[in-house]
Amino acid sequence: MSRKPRAFRLDDPDVAETRLGEEADRPARVRVEIQPDEILEAADGTPVPMGRKRGLPWGGILLSALCALVLLALGLAAENLVRGLFEVAPWLGWAGLAALALALVALAVLVGREVAGLLREKKIEDLRARALSAREARDGEAAKRVVAEIVALYAARPETARARGRIAEVADEILDAEDRLAIAERELLADLDDRAARAVADAAKQVSLVTALSPRAAIDVGFVIFNAARVLRRVSAIYGARPGTLGFLRLMRAALTHLTVTGGVALGDGLMQQALGLGIAARISARLGEGVLNGIMTARFGLAAIAVCRPLPFVALERPKIGDVAGELIPKRVVEEAKG
């Protein structure tokens, strides 16, 4: 005999709630069994995250302990040295103590610079991420805050005064997130983008010329690495990062990661296809061809450096291409001769 469906309130005396596998604490006509969340998520088709037990970070503990031992050893050695100098002659002890104090002050300054460089670099990365988030979410207030922080970032630069004035004129106007970020990008970053592109182009030309004339491959490799480090520092300084040693290494890793992810996309605007398709490699010397390729590699790394050092993503302005910074590596005369 089928029964018609009925509705019950959970606070009804005839309704008792129980957990899965448990008995009700009182007799009732209706028993409501509460299912665990994992069962509900599995029934809904949602994957259940599996918790993974994480033990102690032994690698971090080992590194911290070794650093502590090194610092203790250095401190003990310095103390023994100063004490020995005092035993030899009091004035030597005071001179050693003054040198130790000067070394500690210099170390504190260096650490402060490294920390400040890391914070500036982290701030630029955070601004870029927040700008993307504000644009995707169409959050005008978030975009306004990002623009205000970018203006403050370049407030100490006299050459940005006019751009900052134009941005201040529209600061109180009602604009959507994309338009506000586009105004900031055009006014503040257009000139910086040109300077960064020129720096990359100059580095690419230097690498192309030096590696075409150098007699040994070791010199080529060394100069390419040196120029890549220099162009990364120049680009980061143009956009306001000014990283220290640790920040520079972090930027280098980010640029290499960006270069790996983008792969051959940077060559997709036709420069390499033009060089290969026209048969220029058969018409010029092998050394000159190697110089051109090394210059193109430097240009690609420079474009990756621009992408990771810029405080705003490329939206309103066009992203520079490999032909914009490496187009002069192949002389027009050679191209015209190859076409003929």
pLDDT digits (tens, 9 = 90+) for 153-164: 888 888 888 888
Residue with tokens 């992408």: 307
The reply to whether 297 falls in a domain is: yes
Weakly modelled stretches of the chain, pLDDT under 70: 1-15, 18-56, 215, 243-248, 258-289, 327-340
Token pair for residue 284?
């010029």
Measure the CA–CA gap between 36 and 43, rounded to whole angstroms: 11
C-beta atoms surrounding 332 within 10 Å:
9
Total domains in the chain come to: 1
- What pLDDT, on the 0 to 100 scale, is given for residue 32? 65
Residue type, 15: V
Please name which of 269, 267, 252, 266 lies closest in space to residue 305, comparing C-alpha atoms: 252
Is residue 88 domain-resident?
no
148 residue type, one letter: A
DSSP-assigned letters across all residues of 92-152: HHHHHHHHHHHHHHHHHHHHHHHHHHHHHHHHHHHHHHHHHHHHHHT-HHHHHHHHHHHHH
C-alpha closest to that of 321 among 299, 295, 298, 291? 299
Asked if residue 245 is part of any domain, the answer here is yes
Task: Specify the residue for token string 């100490």.
Answer: 156
In-domain check, residue 292: yes
Is 326 contained in some domain? yes
Domain containing 293 equals 190-339
- Classify residue 26: in a domain, yes or no: no
Q: Tokens 């259940």 appear where?
A: 48
**Would you say residue 128 lies in a domain?**
no
Tokens linked to 250: 């972090």
List CB contacts of 187: < 8 A, sequence separation 6 or more. 163, 164, 166, 167
Could you report the per-residue pLDDT of 274-314, keeping only the tens digit for each? 444 444 444 455 666 677 777 888 888 888 888 888 888 88
- Whether 283 maps to a domain, the answer reads yes
Q: What is the pLDDT of residue 102?
A: 92
Task: Please report the pLDDT score of residue 134 as a whole number.
Answer: 86
Query: Crossing angle, helix 140-153 and helix 90-137, to 10 degrees?
Result: 150
Amino acid making up residue 285: S
